[in-house]
Amino acid sequence: MKYINLLFIALLSGLLISCSEDILDEINKNPNASTDVPISLLLPQVTVSTVHGVAGDGGGEYACFFVEHTTNVHLNPRMPFNVNDNVWGSTYYTLKDLNTIIEKGSVGGNEEGQFHAVGIAKVLYAYTLSVGTDFFGEMPHSEANKGSENRSPTFDNQETIYAFLQNLLDEAIVDLEKESIGDISRFDLIYEGDTEMWKKAAYGLKARFYNRLSNIQPEASAQNVLDALAGTFESEDEGMIFDGYLSGNTNDNPWAGWQKSEQTYAISQTFLDLVNGFNDSGYTDPRANRWFTRINGEFVGAPTGQAQSDQTHSVYSAPSTETVLYDESPQPLITYDEMKFLEAEAKLRLGLNEEAYVAYQEAVESACRRSGISEDEIEEYLSQGSVFPGANNLSLNHIIGQKNISFWMFQSIEAYNDFRRTGIPQMNDPQGTPLRLPYPPSEVNRNPNTPSEINDQTIYEIPVWWAKQ
């Protein structure tokens, strides 16, 4: 496969980068090892790190549990709080490497003129930072990753971080439009150096981030969403999707790896009810037939937070290992159907119901097509009145409900963000749904600036900034 060498390079280059700032580490330095990794090696490594920030390191997996796409039937169905260490650490390691690319390729850097690589790094930086701040809320950023220069960075509020994200994406678009030295096509694991697609991805993130502010600026954010969408993906053939996972146990999709090794996931009853809620009497969503296994001929959902251990998958339905959780499963980061759902929601907020309905129809159809079901199955599903209720009856429940289904399960972080923002769909965990992650003990213990009001208990009570309704 075309990515095997690049993934090897990515892993190798990751080993060449020292993360420590402690002077004692000087003792263990190999004088023959590289201390200045070029952009060409850093870029694939940090791309994989960004993708793993979505799919790996516990964040995506546990968002999947929080939003009740799946239920953990391996061990404890609740969140082991070391997940916050994993998400926190992977966020900052990735941001540090991305910043290195930005500094190297920008004016004054030792690889000055690699503006396309800089633009790509800024898009990936925005993606990674957004995942971190959406999980934790306030985070060190402006003073972060300074090493021994500042071991107690202040926490930037989320409003400031979101303004930074938008400015950074604007910078990325400018960089991607510049003349640039070097050919990065071999080292770009997503678009193979296609800067026009990276620009569309940047505009897609801008639209996503503006929409996150629907409770803060209902009308203004809606218009900003529409303005950003004018520059993003134009068809189902476009999207930001990582398809570099390989068969085997080393570079396979981590979701598939977890299922193979631990048999972690069962379909939650909450998600099964959501899917069935759009079905006319006696009808079965064709995506369910493709996505879920059956137990004695039926789909059986697992109760969230109460499911029994079922590593043999004899009690509850599980994600299919043939059509969903297989080694080479692609990881979507931004899709065309998500953009159409954003358009539908923004236009609904602005009272443009007819236009919202058109966008919603296209979003659902595109999401169905991306799921892999046949055109006949798509046509049959779309003919249901419960799916397409008419422009006058279109509601946020329709838009977010269908969007939630389209996010299953690889885009669970975005589904979790939508739930916290809208309260849709209803969750059923008897212990409640965490509204954020607690700060990891490592940060709490060493940084006195860590917000003391956020702890294992209050994460069920205190939302992140943009989620306030």
Domain membership flag for residue 320? no
Domain membership flag for residue 375? no
**CA 174 – CA 120 distance, rounded (Å):** 11
434-457 confidence digits (pLDDT tens): 999 999 999 999 999 999 999 989
In this structure, what token pair is assigned to residue 128? 């990674």
95-130 confidence digits (pLDDT tens): 999 999 999 999 999 999 999 999 999 999 999 999
Find how far residue 206's CA is from the centre of its chain: 14
pLDDT greater than 70 at residue 362: yes
Q: Count other Cβ atoms within 10 Å, centred on residue 247.
A: 13
Strand, coil or helix: what is 13? Answer: helix
Identity at 419, one-letter amino acid code = F
**Overall domain count for the chain:** 1
140 and 94 Cβ atoms separated by less than 8 Å: no
**CA 264 – CA 330 distance, rounded (Å):** 19
Q: Which of the pair, 7 or 409, is modelled with greater confidence?
A: 409
pLDDT greater than 50 at residue 6: no
**Residue 53 Cα distances to 27, 46, 160, angstroms:** 31, 10, 22
- Cα dihedral: 80, 85, 91, 94 (round 10): -120
Percent of the chain residues past pLDDT 70, beyond the cut = 91
221-269 confidence digits (pLDDT tens): 999 999 999 999 999 999 999 999 999 877 899 999 888 888 889 999 9
Q: What is the DSSP string of 58-113?
A: THHHHHHHHTTSEEE-SS-SSPPTTHHHHHHHHHHHHHHHHHHHHHHHSTTSTTTT
Sign of CA dihedral 52, 173, 116, 19: negative
Predicted pLDDT at 16: 42
Confidence of residue 55 (pLDDT cuts 50, 70, 90): confident
192-218 confidence digits (pLDDT tens): 999 999 999 999 999 999 999 999 999
Strand, coil or helix: what is 165? Answer: helix
Domain membership flag for residue 159? yes
**CA 279 – CA 91 distance, rounded (Å):** 39
Q: 84: which residues sit within 8 A by CB, 6+ positions away?
A: 135, 136, 437, 438, 439, 440
Domain membership flag for residue 339? no
pLDDT greater than 60 at residue 8: no
Domain membership flag for residue 202? no
CATH number of the domain where residue 140 is located: 1.25.40.390
pLDDT greater than 50 at residue 369: yes
The residue count of the chain comes to 469
Predicted pLDDT at 75: 64
**CA 361 – CA 171 distance, rounded (Å):** 33
Domain membership flag for residue 173? yes
Q: Which domain holds residue 446?
A: 1-18+37-193+434-464
In this structure, what token pair is assigned to residue 398? 């329709």
Domain membership flag for residue 126? yes
| DSSP percent split of the chain into helix, strand, coil, nearest 5 | 50, 5, 45
Domain membership flag for residue 69? yes
